[in-house]
Amino acid sequence: MSRETFLFRARDKYLELGLRTRLMGVVNVTPDSFSDGGRYFSPREAIDRCLKIVDEGADLIDIGGESTRPDSRPVSANQELERILPVIEAVRPQVAVMISVDTYKSRVAEEALKAGADLINDISSFRFDPGIAKVVARSEAGVVLMHCRGTPATMHQLPPSTDIIRDVHDGLQIAVNTAYKSGIDRDRIVVDPGIGFGKDAVENLQILNRLRFPEELGLPVLVGPSRKRFIESVLGLPVDQRLVGTVAAAVVAVLNGAHMLRIHDVAEVRQATQVTDAILSEALPE
């Protein structure tokens, strides 16, 4: 199955999407993220991690200073900036890849973009802080609009959706319309169905199996299945033993049209997607 191709722009950079799968490597500069909280909390460790995942083949780096795991506590914009700015400022001169910042706060987004970030990955799709849309538009940054039911504090207390596919599609459509009204160009937007954010295990499986549904939005699709709880529901394994499950979910996402994957295990998923891309194109990598 072929993917539609796009040229994604973020500030003065661009990335071709659809010819091969692009990988967004995760770097959590937090003490409490669900998967690697605390491992890269110091600036030096986070900087080293950024450089390592670029060497492993990441096409983008996604730096976050606040955990959005279930039941996580929000941090102030000042705390978030204290965590991420030293990392962005140190990494920017050393890498050519796009730097994404995982935040929903307009002030954090603005300062991160000034420091050298290229795009904003907003889990709320402008719902938590509507001002972030104007920040993105003014800076000509790229943006990832993710679907999230509820908030990190409430999303796993919600009852199942009556139609999760429709909910995700309609939520993303609202976010995309807001982006356009705010002056964000179409070629600066990626949508993300939000695996694990307010969805139960079966709903996550449904989204991955029916991933073609965002295609009618006419935008590239990012999926973040990495080490998520639905894999534990299938395999009964803790977070540090979910690599094989992550690879399986990543391959299915690519087969179903994902252009980009947000992942922790860059080297391993890179190998899997290279083989998947080769099969889809019926051609060897150049």
Q: Tell which residue, 153, 141, 113, 145, has the closest CA to residue 126.
A: 145
Name the active-site residue from 20, 83, 262, 270. Answer: 262
The rounded distance, in Å, linking the Cα atoms of 68 and 266 is 21
Q: Which two tokens stand for residue 280?
A: 């889809």
* Cα 119 to Cα 161: distance, rounded to the nearest angstrom: 30
Q: Cα 278 to chain center, whole Å?
A: 24
> What is the CA 17 to chain-centroid distance, rounded?
15
122 DSSP β-pair partners: 145
Question: Can you tell me whether residue 221 is helix, strand or coil?
Answer: strand
228 is catalytic: yes
Q: How far apart are CA 30 and CA 75, in angstroms?
A: 10
Determine which one of 228, 229, 242, 270 is catalytic.
228
What gap in Å lies between CA 173 and CA 165, rounded to an integer?
12
11 is a catalytic site residue = no
Q: CB within 8 A of 74, min separation 6: which ones?
A: 66, 152
Distance from chain centroid for Cα 273: 17
Task: Indicate left, alpha or beta for 51 from its phi (over 0: left) and psi (-120 to 50: alpha).
Answer: alpha
Q: Please give the positions annotated as active site.
A: 228, 262
